[in-house]
A = this chain, B = another copy of it.
Amino acid sequence: MIPRYSRPDMVAIWSPETKFRIWFEIEAHACDAQAALGVIPKANAEAVWKAADATFDVARIDEIEAVTKHDVIAFLTHLAEIVGSDEARFVHQGMTSSDVLDTTLNIQLVRAADLLLAGLDRVLAALKTRAYEHKDTVRIGRSHGIHAEPTTMGLTFARFYAEMARNRTRLVNARAEVATGAISGAVGTFANIDPRVEEHVCEKLGLLPEPISTQVIPRDRHAMFFATLGVIASSIENVAIEIRHMQRTEVLEAEEFFSPGQKGSSAMPHKRNPVLTENLTGLARLVRMAVIPAMENVALWHERDISHSSVERAIGPDATITLDFALHRLAGVVEKLVVYPENMLKNMNKFRGLVMSQRVLLALTQAGVSREDSYRLVQRNAMKVWEEGKDFKEELLADPEVTAALSPAEIEEKFDLGYHLKHVDTIFARVFGA
């Protein structure tokens, strides 16, 4: 976790305070269930809730752990200090540390997913707003970095919106993957605890009981979770790369917002660097690097080994914190992106109409000119544009062989941008609904 790439809400999910709070809730709900089953006295279950408003003292727990060498026992000892050691004596009965630890990890991941969904929603809102704002802002579409046919800036925003909307669906699925809990004992047989305890605790904490666990919750769930984060990060990179391209000096169709007071902005007005989207490109790599270790974590030995644990201590916070930060950074970039429609037009006209050469070629063929002749006609006029800087349309209009096949109006029509934009509304309706 790198402070400069972190937002407090997500960081808080991974704090010791939050962890101990979740541990407490699991233990307290488990006591309730045990009491309801008659396994432990009701009074003891109720007593545990005395700690409901307590702040657990992390330093004190660390101090105890230094002696006991066991984190859960240290916590339980501290809990007994709050609740009273007699009252607390049935806490954790029949449970295994992993029951608490694994259920807690999933709760943290679920909460992380909720924050990420909020981040995605902010990104979606920004993309939608900008898409409608620039629905008809014409720019050249490019394949291979080379001018192809006209499109609009709105379509660019709209396709990023559609991609992020897919990511939202994926993240909802990923959240469901990890929204399970397990209180099933040392090898998952419920030997020492009734399955109804698990059911109660899960219900109270918004989880489903893991249908079958071992000592741990199966890690294919977490692999899928982190794989999904990797896909979302790759989409962030996709948007970031587009903006970086748009901001490069020779293109300059858009710029990351640059506050007026920002140093250097006006003495070197050309030197506004797309550092936020470059940063997002790097952050995408960081999120993605969690994917393979999460997959390597799946094949644990028998009912569990603990190799996954160190991996999750790192990638649990790191991947969610980084992605959360990246989503909000991206949202900010999109919300405030400075778009230059006039530069878009200027770029599109860089080769004075040449991007329309394919339409002209097709029109000549359809007008009955042979394929070879059509090609020759387009070619000789295109070369004048390319080599002598002439205007393509004017050359065509001045070429008698061309005008023999196409009227001036027909030629004009080939340069009509409306031709390219006629289905923009259809596409918007598909993406954003009618």
Contacts and interface: CB of A to CB of B under 8 A. Distances in A.
A143 B361 CA distance: 40
A111 to B, nearest CB: 20
Given A278-B305, A279-B306, A147 B270 contact: yes
A37 interface: no
Please classify the interface of chain A as helix (H, G, I), strand (E, B), loop, or mixed, using the class held by over half of its residues: helix
Contacts of A21: none
Contacts of A99: none
A55 interface: no
A274 interface: yes
A34 interface: no
A344 to B, nearest CB: 11
Interface string A236-270: 01101110110111110000000000110011111
Given A279-B309, A292-B291, A305-B143, A215 B270 contact: no
A295 interface: yes
Interface in A1-47: 2, 4-5
A244 B166 contact: no
B189 A263 contact: no
Contacts of A211: 162, 427, 430-431
Given A141-B214, A145-B245, 15 more contacts: A141-B215, A142-B303, A143-B273, A143-B304, A144-B301, A146-B272, A150-B189, A234-B299, A237-B298, A242-B301, A266-B383, A267-B361, A282-B307, A286-B311, A291-B291
Interface of A: 2, 4-5, 68-70, 140-151, 155, 158-159, 162-163, 166-167, 170, 173, 177, 185-192, 195, 209, 211-215, 218, 220-221, 223-224, 227-228, 230-231, 233-235, 237-238, 240-242, 244-245, 247-251, 262-263, 266-275, 278-279, 281-286, 288-293, 295-311, 313-315, 318, 347, 350-351, 354-355, 357-358, 361-362, 375, 378-379, 382-383, 385-386, 419-424, 426-427, 430-431
